[in-house]
């Protein structure tokens, strides 16, 4: 071919200078998944070795938050669709799992997986409908879905209506009593957290993820380039529902009670968005960092006598500050400061 | 030359505006067909219709024997039609590489990421973006973004390339180079349907020209035929007789 790279070099490179020469584009490194698994092991073992129940409870909540934030990030950070009602997956998963365990005496793990699969399938069906909406309309529709499900459950007698379902102590017997059940649920939740992060990483580095990122940037252009946009969005919505539903099942099994207002709490939905923005949307590490820091901060604020009422006010101020000064979140900031970190910190 | 794309009796109306009216033309295999016409003649609408951005009111679009009328954009892309937009549409937050990779992996050949990277490297060298692959697409210059449009479309390994004013906004040197690139693309057996206002490019590039006015087929023929066609001159400049009259008047 006579026409080659030199076409562009003279006329274009002048203004495009000022960036470092393109590094050789390597396949993403494989260290990152190993780091995630290592982190999960630390998460599981540190409270266990120290036999620190307080730390376990704090980490358990962090694992739930990280699961929620990481999966929500698939929609918000990758596909660019803001899902305000993401908590519906968590609540519905909780109900299905608790119902299967209490009424049908399913083993916990099977019930959790069933909850995940059912909610994921429902999300696929719902998603195909509401994902025709874009931007603010989609965001509003997701709140609508959450509120509708909450109202339905509050009037659904088999699930206890507005009072919800209580678990008796018998439910913990197959797991060796409440004491060991709490540890087991904790380990399972850490497992769900690790799998969520691995899913997020797998999607981000896959062809499917590339399609999602393209949709997030410019949906019409992505379509013209050949990305099957409706299918991609519905699959992403469905995939982002699975682990939150499993986490909901485990969490409410551990709590011993599930009722509509606690299960479909819109505040937690919005807090999950704050966590993503705090850590850095569109990255795997961002939601992890954001959710962990947010949980620690929240724990501190709630126990501090002077400002315990101001937790959400501070969350709001924090979000505002992040959006104004570091729109890429913590990870975005790190990437900007140290561009080389991009290859390691996904 | 057998027909690759057949457009027959295509019409599209937006409210009170008949954007495209009863338009028919064909693009042969390996041909460069230019679509010209004054602003508002309906050229980009024709692209949108072929591309599946919206369906036509009536008429048919047949590509390689398959009816693609009203198919969604991504299916049209899978059939092997790629497009470079007049108003650049970079996926600004993604790198130039990823932009092209979307085109390569989701285009006609449905490639894997690894195979897509190979295609991107090759196309980037052809188009002249090889040294900017790691850059965010939003940071490219206007000319760079134009190139990216072309590169991305090309990465999909299309049979037919729709080029919507890829030369607009470029300086004469850049135009010269872009024309070379387009020639090189055709040499690889890709047919091209091109909308362009730069007449020098039309004259040197295209095999045939279809002139549109008010959504209708005004004239069709070789570049010199079209350039001297009275109806085309009238559509662009007004009545030629009127012009000679006013020119003949002593000032």
* Res B62: pLDDT: 96
* Res A13: pLDDT: 38
CB contact under 8 A, A226 and B143: no
Element (H, E) at B183: helix B172-187
Cβ–Cβ < 8 Å for B8, B59: yes
Instruction: List CB contacts (< 8 A) between B144 and chain A.
Output: 8, 12, 16
For residue B153, the 8-state DSSP code is H
CB contact under 8 A, A12 and B128: yes
Q: A262 — phi, psi (to 5°)?
A: -75, -35
Domain C-terminal end among B140, B157, B174? B157
CB contact under 8 A, B91 and A218: yes
In chain B, which residue's Cα lies nearest the Cα of A2? B184
**Between these two residues, A233 and A302, which has the higher pLDDT value?**
A233
Cβ–Cβ < 8 Å for B104, B124: no
Same structural domain for residues B54 and B173? yes
* Res A19: pLDDT: 41
* Res B241: pLDDT: 67
The pLDDT of residue A143 is above 60: yes
* Model confidence pLDDT, tens digit, residues A177-232: 888 999 999 999 999 999 999 999 999 999 999 999 999 999 999 999 999 999 99
Mean pLDDT, chain A, whole residue set: 88
Among candidate residues A212, A101, A119, the one with its CA nearest the CA of residue A165: A101
A15: tokens are 């203004």
Out of B77, B78, B141, closest to residue A12 by CB: B141
* Res A20: pLDDT: 40
Range in A9-13, A233-237, B14-18 with the lowest mean pLDDT = A9-13
In chain B, which residue's Cα lies nearest the Cα of A211? B102
Same structural domain for residues B138 and B238? no
Beta-strand relationship, B216-221 and B208-213: antiparallel
CB contact under 8 A, A224 and B130: no
3-class secondary-structure state, position B6: strand
* Res B248: pLDDT: 46
Q: B96 — phi, psi (to 5°)?
A: -60, -40
- Per-residue pLDDT band for B118 (boundaries 50, 70, 90) equals very high
CB contact under 8 A, A19 and B77: no
Cβ–Cβ < 8 Å for B13, B19: yes
- Per-residue pLDDT band for B56 (boundaries 50, 70, 90) equals very high
CB contact under 8 A, B77 and A226: yes
Q: How many CB atoms lie within 10 A of CB B45?
A: 22
| Percent of residues, chain B, with pLDDT higher than 70 | 94
* Angle (deg, nearest 10), helices A285-303 and A53-73: 140
Same structural domain for residues B242 and B214? yes
3-class secondary-structure state, position B186: helix
pLDDT (mean) for A144-152: 95
**Any domain includes B45:** yes
**Any domain includes B89:** no
pLDDT (mean) for B93-114: 94
**The CATH number, out of the four listed (1.20.1740, 1.10.40, 1.10.760, 1.10.3470), of the domain defined by the range A29-42+53-344:** 1.10.3470
* Global confidence as pTM: 0.88
Residue A263 Cα distances to A86, A98, A267, A318, A321, angstroms: 11, 12, 11, 25, 29
- Per-residue pLDDT band for B227 (boundaries 50, 70, 90) equals confident
Contacts of A293 (CB under 8 A, 6+ apart): A278, A279, A330
pLDDT (mean) for B186-197: 92
In chain B, which residue's Cα lies nearest the Cα of A11? B174
* Model confidence pLDDT, tens digit, residues A303-320: 877 776 777 788 788 888
Same structural domain for residues B131 and B235? no
* Res A23: pLDDT: 42
**Any domain includes B87:** no
Please tell me if residue A324 touches chain B, with a CB cutoff of 8 Å.
no
Question: Which of B51, B86, B91, B188 is the best substitution to test chain A (most A C-beta atoms within 10 A)?
Answer: B91
- Per-residue pLDDT band for B242 (boundaries 50, 70, 90) equals low
**Any domain includes B224:** yes
Cβ–Cβ < 8 Å for B91, B99: yes
| Domain around B48 | 3-80+159-248
The pLDDT of residue A171 is above 60: yes
* Res B244: pLDDT: 59
Beta-bridge partners for B3? B28
* Model confidence pLDDT, tens digit, residues A7-44: 333 333 333 333 443 444 444 567 889 999 999 999 99
The pLDDT of residue B78 is above 60: yes
Same structural domain for residues B148 and B173? no
Range in A21-35, A140-154, B45-59, B133-147 with the lowest mean pLDDT = A21-35
CB contact under 8 A, A11 and B143: yes
Most confident of A92-96, B170-174, B175-179, B238-242: A92-96
3-class secondary-structure state, position B7: strand
**Between these two residues, B240 and A62, which has the higher pLDDT value?**
A62
* Res A304: pLDDT: 78
How far is A108 from A184, CA to CA, in rounded Å? 10
């Amino acid at each position: 071919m006579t026409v080659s790279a030199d076409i562009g070099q003279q006329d274009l490179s002048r203004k495009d200078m000022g960036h470092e020469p393109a590094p050789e584009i390597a396949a993403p490194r494989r260290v990152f998944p190993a780091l995630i698994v290592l982190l999960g092991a630390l998460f599981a073992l540190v409270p266990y070795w120290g036999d620190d129940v307080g730390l376990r409870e704090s980490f358990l909540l962090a694992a739930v938050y990280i699961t929620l934030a990481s999966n929500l990030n698939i929609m918000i950070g990758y596909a660019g669709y803001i899902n305000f009602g993401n908590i519906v997956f968590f609540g519905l998963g909780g109900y299905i799992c608790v119902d299967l365990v209490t009424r049908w005496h399913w083993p916990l793990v099977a019930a959790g997986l069933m909850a995940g699969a059912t909610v994921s399938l429902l999300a696929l069906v719902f998603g195909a409908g509401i994902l025709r909406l874009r931007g603010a309309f989609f965001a509003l529709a997701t709140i609508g879905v959450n509120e509708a499900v909450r109202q339905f459950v509050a009037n659904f007698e088999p699930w206890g209506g507005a009072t919800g379902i209580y678990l008796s102590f018998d439910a913990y017997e197959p797991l060796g009593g409440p004491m060991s059940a709490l540890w087991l649920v904790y380990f399972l939740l850490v497992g769900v957290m690790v799998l969520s992060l691995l899913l997020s990483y797998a999607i981000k580095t896959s062809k499917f993820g590339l399609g999602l990122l393209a949709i997030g940037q410019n949906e019409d252009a992505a379509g013209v380039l050949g990305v099957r946009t409706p299918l991609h969005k519905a699959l992403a919505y469905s995939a982002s529902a699975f682990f939150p539903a499993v986490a909901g099942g485990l969490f409410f099994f551990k709590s011993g009670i599930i009722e509509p207002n606690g299960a479909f709490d819109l505040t937690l939905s919005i807090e999950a968005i704050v966590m993503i923005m705090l850590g850095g949307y569109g990255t795997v590490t961002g939601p992890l960092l954001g959710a962990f820091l947010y949980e620690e901060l929240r724990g501190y604020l709630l126990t501090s006598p002077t400002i315990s009422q101001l937790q959400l006010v501070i969350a709001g101020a924090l979000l505002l500050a992040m959006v104004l000064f570091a729109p890429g979140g913590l990870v975005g900031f790190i990437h900007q400061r140290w561009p080389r970190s991009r290859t390691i910190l996904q | 030359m057998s027909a690759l794309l057949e457009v027959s009796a295509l019409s599209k109306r937006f409210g009170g505006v008949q954007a495209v009216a009863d338009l028919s033309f064909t693009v042969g295999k390996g041909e460069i067909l230019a679509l010209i016409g004054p602003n508002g003649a309906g050229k980009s609408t024709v692209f949108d219709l072929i591309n599946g951005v919206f369906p036509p009111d009536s008429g048919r679009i047949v590509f390689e024997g398959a009816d693609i009328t009203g198919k969604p954009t991504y299916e049209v892309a899978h059939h092997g039609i790629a497009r470079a937009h007049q108003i650049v549409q970079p996926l600004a937050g993604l790198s130039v590489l990823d932009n092209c990779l979307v085109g390569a992996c989701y285009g006609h050949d449905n490639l894997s990421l690894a195979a897509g990277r190979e295609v991107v490297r090759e196309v980037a060298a052809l188009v002249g973006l090889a040294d900017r692959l790691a850059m965010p697409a939003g940071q490219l210059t206007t000319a760079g973004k134009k190139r990216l449009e072309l590169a991305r479309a090309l990465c999909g390994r299309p049979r037919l390339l729709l080029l919507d004013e890829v030369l607009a906004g470029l300086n004469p040197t850049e135009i010269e180079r872009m024309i070379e690139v387009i020639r090189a693309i055709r040499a690889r057996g890709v047919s091209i349907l091109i909308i362009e206002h730069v007449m020098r490019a039309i004259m040197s590039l295209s095999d045939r020209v279809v002139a549109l006015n008010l959504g209708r087929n005004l004239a069709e023929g070789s570049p010199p035929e079209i350039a001297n066609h009275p109806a085309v001159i009238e559509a662009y400049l007004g009545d030629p007789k009127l012009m000679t009259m006013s020119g003949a008047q002593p000032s």
